[in-house]
């Protein structure tokens, strides 16, 4: 009888499994042994595929952003007849659904990782990546608000950067509340209250 063919290694599936492990345990508490067991490969194969724990974690963060978080950002960048508030609501509702979903660990992997980034063992390349992603998200929001207010010929004395920083701070808080068990409905209600800070045209 012929031996069964080995299942081909699927990098995306492996990254998704590693992502969930880091998301639940955090970087420091996730060991190579944990990762090998979760991915179903031995340690030499894990190193061959991903280099080491640090490079795997960096790739996991990118996987999370690209496959889970950033899919909601198209509401901010695509041409739309929706109002500014409608576009912001659609984007943040998508993020809230992610934070509170039962399909993935609750909360946000980036927020969880930021909270342990002052650890001596936290990888510098991962911290740099998270900072870059934070700046990209901030710039997306800045561009949207500036464009909308320019098109509306809106003269106001509110600082756009402060509004964006406020929305990002609210998003951070929503992720923490979701991790603590707050319902998706309640989180959306909180965001709608925060949205009132955005001026009407």
Q: Per residue in 145-194, pLDDT tens? A: 988 877 666 555 468 999 999 999 999 999 999 999 999 999 999 999 99
pLDDT for 80 equals 83
Provide CB contacts within 8 A for 191, sequence distance 6+.
Answer: 89, 92, 93, 96, 170, 174
Q: pLDDT tier at 90 (50, 70, 90 boundaries)?
A: very high
d(CA 145, CA 76): 9
With a cut of 90, say whether residue 40 has pLDDT above it.
yes
Q: pLDDT tier at 6 (50, 70, 90 boundaries)?
A: low
Can you tell me the mean pLDDT for 42-48? Answer: 95
The domains of the chain are located at 65-195
Weakest mean pLDDT among 19-33, 47-61, 72-86: 72-86
- Domain 65-195: CATH class, spelled out: mainly alpha
With a cut of 90, say whether residue 5 has pLDDT above it.
no
With a cut of 50, say whether residue 74 has pLDDT above it.
yes
Q: pLDDT tier at 199 (50, 70, 90 boundaries)?
A: confident
Task: Report the predicted TM-score, pTM, of the whole model to 2 decimal places.
Answer: 0.89
């Amino acid at each position: 009888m012929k031996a069964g063919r080995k299942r081909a290694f699927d990098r995306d599936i492996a990254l998704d499994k590693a992502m969930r492990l880091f998301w639940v345990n955090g970087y420091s508490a996730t060991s190579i042994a944990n990762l090998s067991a979760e991915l179903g490969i031995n340690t030499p194969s894990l190193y061959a595929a991903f280099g080491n724990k640090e490079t795997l974690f960096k790739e996991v963060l990118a996987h999370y952003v690209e496959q889970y978080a950033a899919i909601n950002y198209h509401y901010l960048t695509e041409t739309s007849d929706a109002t500014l508030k409608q576009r912001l609501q659609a984007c943040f509702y998508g993020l809230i659904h992610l934070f509170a979903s039962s399909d993935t660990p609750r909360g946000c992997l980036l927020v969880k990782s930021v909270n342990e980034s002052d650890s001596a063992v936290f990888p510098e390349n991962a911290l740099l990546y998270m900072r870059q992603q934070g700046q990209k998200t901030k710039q997306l929001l800045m561009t949207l608000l500036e464009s909308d207010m320019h098109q509306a010929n809106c003269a106001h004395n509110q600082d756009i950067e402060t509004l964006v920083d406020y929305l990002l701070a609210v998003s951070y808080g929503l992720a923490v509340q979701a991790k603590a068990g707050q319902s998706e409905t309640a989180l959306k209600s909180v965001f709608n209250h925060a949205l009132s800070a955005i001026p009407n045209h």
